[in-house]
């Protein structure tokens, strides 16, 4: 039996909407011979099935076992062709590509003049929408045709095409360098998280400056500016310069509002820019702006004119719910945020084939933090265990580290300290192996390890001592990241004062209104 959750064909069929399924059947039924075809029979079977059972497909005599692999590949291709023809999946990029295909057909029929006419229109459309890669491809095609279709203006035309190709080439090289830098920094952020010391800060800064291409501002169009802002944003995240994160994410969004048609053309980049702006506001603890911007963001993506597709639906869910949780963390309104958990788990289940493990684990960590703030420590442990026990998670080592530290604290608070010593040793070994042992973590583990030797009447005094030792790291350039994942100081204050941690955070939140 095939693993249906990993089988590309099964996942694709199950992702189709009712209208897409209807269009596919219309598409394959255009020729009478297709109505009884094997690939349509396979499609109908998969559409009605809850799982992909290859033995059942063979037993139903839809296809022989030897032919099944080829039939699945053929059906997969036919579904993609059908989707490509759908108006729902048409955009400027696909329209330009379609015109390029038409021009190629005309060229091969020897109809050079007609081909050039279509290419000229496609090139104008590409330039207007800053699709410089396709525009360059069109110019190169025009150059090929011009060598075969001689006109009286060939000399001027040759110079014109040469200049166009050079300008587009320069733009494409710059865009490529900026997008490469942005992607490499993003990968570094996912793998290792924030810089941990001066040495790492120098390495990242040197790398960023050496890879940042030289440019003239007047040469930058929408795409070049977008990748430039993204590169600066990821550098700022890695070095924990959160004010700069806010600065460049705001520039990112402002760029879209200066070019409103690009929101329709590049909705995913618009969504991501808004998410990073919201996350930056959370990191600088600007609760008022965070709530305001989140409300504006939700209104924008709910507008009928905003693009809609499966990818946008998934990303909108991730970004909105991540930031809704962040609002409750800043406010200390953990109980009020519990309703989000059911919605999040429902959406994760519905999007299980379209959300990667990393983003699911981020949700689990935040849900764990939500329950910790509610003093529901057993639920907190339950969600953190999903991260700790995930052996396939290769990204965000810092997420794994802090999940383990928070789990230790939750076990202590829940009174589940009968295995605390072994957990402490395991966590310590893990942190040493990951080379991620910070002063805040050292102090936390040392404190928890010594709990067994502290008399009950001394516990409050020990909490106060730990609070004093950790307070000095609250604004430390590298240690402060520990407080981004867990408000340890508020937890200590709640133990010292004998009050819920949510009440402590709520009182602090009153001072965060700007």
Q: What angle do CA 309, 14, 301 make, to 5 degrees?
A: 20
The per-residue pLDDT for 514 is 39
Q: Transcribe 19-80 into DSSP letters.
A: HHHHHHHHHHTSSGGGTT-HHHHHHHHHHH-SS--HHHHHHTTSS-HHHHHHHHHHHHHHHH
The per-residue pLDDT for 258 is 94
Q: How far apart are CA 388 and CA 211, in angstroms?
A: 35
Q: Among 179, 183, 187, 184, which residue's Cα sits nearest to residue 358?
A: 187
> By the 8 A CB rule, do 374 and 500 touch?
no
The per-residue pLDDT for 340 is 96
Q: How far apart are CA 490 and CA 512, in angstroms?
A: 15
Q: How far apart are CA 97 and CA 120, in angstroms?
A: 13
Cite the DSSP H helix spans in 212-309: 222-238, 242-258, 261-265, 267-283, 287-302
Give the distance between the most distant pair of CA atoms in the chain: 99
> By the 8 A CB rule, do 279 and 241 touch?
no
Q: How far apart are CA 283 and CA 289, in angstroms?
A: 12
CB-count burial class (<10 Å; 0-12, 13-18, 19+) for 195 = buried
> By the 8 A CB rule, do 125 and 119 touch?
no
The per-residue pLDDT for 474 is 82
Residue whose token pair is 């550098």: 235
The per-residue pLDDT for 178 is 92
The gap from C-alpha 174 to its chain's centroid, in whole angstroms, comes to 24
CB-count burial class (<10 Å; 0-12, 13-18, 19+) for 1 = exposed
Grouped pLDDT means (10 residues each) for the chain, 514 residues = 66 87 84 66 88 85 86 90 78 89 92 92 92 93 82 68 90 92 86 81 93 89 94 93 95 95 92 96 92 96 90 94 94 93 94 84 94 92 91 68 83 76 73 68 75 70 85 81 75 86 83 48
The per-residue pLDDT for 51 is 83
Q: How far apart are CA 357 and CA 369, in angstroms?
A: 18
CA distances from 74 to 14, 28, 34, 68, 118 (A): 17, 12, 13, 10, 32
């Amino acid at each position: 039996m095939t693993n249906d959750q990993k089988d590309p064909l099964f996942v694709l069929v199950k992702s189709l909407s009712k209208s897409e399924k209807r269009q596919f059947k219309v598409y394959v039924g255009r020729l009478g011979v297709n109505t009884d075809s094997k690939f349509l029979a396979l499609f109908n079977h998969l559409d009605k099935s809850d799982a992909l059972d290859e033995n059942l497909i063979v037993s139903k005599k839809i296809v022989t076992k030897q032919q099944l692999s080829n039939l699945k590949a053929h059906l997969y291709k036919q579904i993609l062709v059908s989707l490509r023809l759908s108006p729902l999946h048409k955009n400027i990029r696909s329209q330009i590509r379609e015109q390029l295909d038409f021009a190629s057909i005309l060229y091969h029929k020897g109809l050079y003049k007609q081909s050039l006419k279509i290419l000229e229109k496609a090139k104008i459309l590409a330039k207007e929408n800053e699709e410089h890669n396709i525009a360059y491809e069109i110019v190169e095609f025009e150059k090929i045709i011009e060598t075969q279709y001689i006109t009286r203006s060939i000399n001027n035309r040759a110079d014109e095409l040469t200049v166009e190709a050079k300008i587009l080439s320069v733009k494409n090289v710059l865009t490529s360098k900026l997008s490469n830098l942005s992607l490499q920094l993003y990968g570094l952020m996912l793998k290792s998280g924030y810089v941990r010391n001066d040495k790492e800060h120098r390495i990242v800064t040197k790398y960023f400056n050496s890879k940042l291409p030289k440019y003239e501002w007047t040469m930058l169009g929408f795409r070049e500016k977008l990748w430039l802002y993204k590169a600066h944003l990821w550098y700022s995240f890695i070095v924990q310069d959160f004010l700069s994160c806010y600065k460049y994410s705001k520039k990112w969004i402002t760029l879209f509002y200066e070019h409103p048609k690009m929101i329709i053309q590049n909705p995913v980049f618009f969504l991501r820019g808004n998410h990073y702006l919201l996350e930056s506001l959370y990191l600088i603890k600007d609760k008022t702006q965070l709530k305001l911007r989140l409300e504006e963001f939700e209104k924008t993506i709910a507008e009928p004119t905003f693009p809609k597709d499966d990818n946008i639906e998934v990303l909108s869910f991730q970004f909105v719910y991540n930031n809704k949780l962040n609002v409750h963390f800043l406010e200390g309104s953990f109980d009020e945020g519990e309703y989000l958990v059911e919605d999040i788990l429902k959406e994760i289940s519905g999007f299980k084939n379209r959300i990667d493990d990393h983003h699911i684990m981020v949700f689990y960590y935040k849900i764990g933090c939500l329950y910790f703030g509610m003093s529901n420590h057993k639920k907190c442990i339950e969600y953190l265990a999903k991260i700790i026990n995930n052996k396939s998670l290769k990204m965000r080592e810092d997420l794994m580290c802090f999940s383990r530290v928070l789990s230790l604290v939750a076990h202590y608070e829940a009174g589940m300290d009968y295995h605390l010593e072994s957990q402490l040793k395991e966590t310590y070994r893990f942190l040493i192996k990951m080379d991620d042992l910070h002063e805040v973590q050292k102090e936390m583990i040392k404190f928890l390890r010594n709990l067994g030797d502290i008399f009950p009447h001394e516990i409050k005094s020990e909490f106060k001592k730990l609070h004093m030792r950790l307070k000095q790291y609250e604004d430390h350039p590298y240690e402060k990241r520990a407080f981004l994942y867990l408000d340890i100081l508020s937890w200590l204050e709640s133990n010292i004062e004998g009050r819920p941690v949510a009440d402590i955070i709520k009182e602090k939140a009153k001072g965060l209104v700007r």
